[in-house]
Amino acid sequence: GPVENKNEAAMSELVPEPRQKPVVPMKPVGINANLLGYIGIDTIIEQMRKKTMKTGFDFNIMVVGQSGLGKSTLVNTLFKSQVSRKSSGWNREEKIPKTVEIKAIGHVIEEGGVKMKLTVIDTPGFGDQINNENCWEPIEKYINEQYEKFLKEEVNIARKKRIPDTRVHCCLYFISPTGHSLRPLDLEFMKHLSKVVNIIPVIAKADTMTLEEKTEFKQRVRKELEVNGIEFYPQKEFDEDLEDKTENDKIRQESMPFAVVGSDKEYQVNGKRVLGRKTPWGIIEVENLTHCEFALLRDFVIRTHLQDLKEVTHNIHYETYRAKRLNDNGGLPPMTVETEENHESNL
């Protein structure tokens, strides 16, 4: 009767049916691995390379720190071209901005057939006032506005095949070479912004310190960041495998924060042209590792971690922003008249 069926159903829930072992296919005997020849899976890399070469790359780098720390010079040195705003000589009319301004300058740099659309975002006026309370706010606002722009494009019904990427991939934060400790402003900035952007701390104008002072100052800065729970890039929790972890641990424990010297002037040293700074007691060679860590910073930002900086920005920082926005909003960003018109024109 129905009661028996019920009991049987209950029993079958309790006693799981013995799972059948999956049939292991027998290995073909004696087939030579080369018998069927070459397939060509390895050409995928080349296909990807061709595709990305056509579209080119975006990279947006932000520089933050007090004026006079050589931010513009350093960015120019990094990309070996005049990419950052730099007044030719200071003029009297140029006043210190009353609030933090944000200036983005775009360039296209090409090397070996690879095109990069580089945007340098400068923040003049940061940390230059008597009262620097909350001067990180306009910077955080700018970073979030770029995420918002991207999100609006992404949730469009008829969205672009390739959304223009203005998100800040990397923020170089310039620490003053005092040799003492970080200022409250430094800690405050990094505390608020390390959650929304990849921060790479650098000690500017490192040639103002002796080697011992430099080593000591770097250790002190690392300790202070750790005590204050400030995560800088590369963040520990985003290491994907053991190889990444080993490489990044070395950077976190030894290199960070990079003590750098920037220069866009060339000098002759032993018959070679080098970028450097001339002092009464010799030339500081920017790319010479015994003189400063500029080469380490460049290799890190451009040669080894540029793609990762972009990925962490997209998969972590932007994703966090997006999830929060969509949650707060019960779904999609509110439609403004402007976006509605865009939709109609797109359709």
CA–CA dist 107, 280 (Å, integer): 36
pLDDT band at 10 (very low <50, low <70, confident <90, very high): low
Residue 21 has pLDDT above 80, yes or no: no
What average pLDDT score do residues 262-283 get?
86
Residue 95 has pLDDT above 80, yes or no: no
pLDDT at 318: 96
CA–CA dist 135, 129 (Å, integer): 9
Strand duo 266-269 + 272-279: pairing: antiparallel
pLDDT at 31: 52
Provide the whole-model pTM.
0.80
pLDDT at 88: 44
| Tokens standing for residue 335 | 């439609």
Q: How many CA atoms lie within 13 A of 341 on its CB side?
A: 3
Average pLDDT over the chain, rounded to an integer: 83
pLDDT band at 172 (very low <50, low <70, confident <90, very high): very high
Please report, to the nearest 10 degrees, the dihedral formed by the alpha carbons of residues 328, 332, 338, 342 taken in order: 160
Domains of the chain from N-terminus onward? 58-86+97-260+292-329 (3.40.50.300)
What average pLDDT score do residues 158-186 get?
91
CA–CA dist 62, 197 (Å, integer): 10
What average pLDDT score do residues 182-188 get?
91
Whether 203 contacts 214, CB under 8 Å: yes
pLDDT band at 5 (very low <50, low <70, confident <90, very high): low
Residue 245 has pLDDT above 80, yes or no: yes
pLDDT band at 282 (very low <50, low <70, confident <90, very high): confident
300-329 confidence digits (pLDDT tens): 999 999 999 999 999 999 999 999 999 887
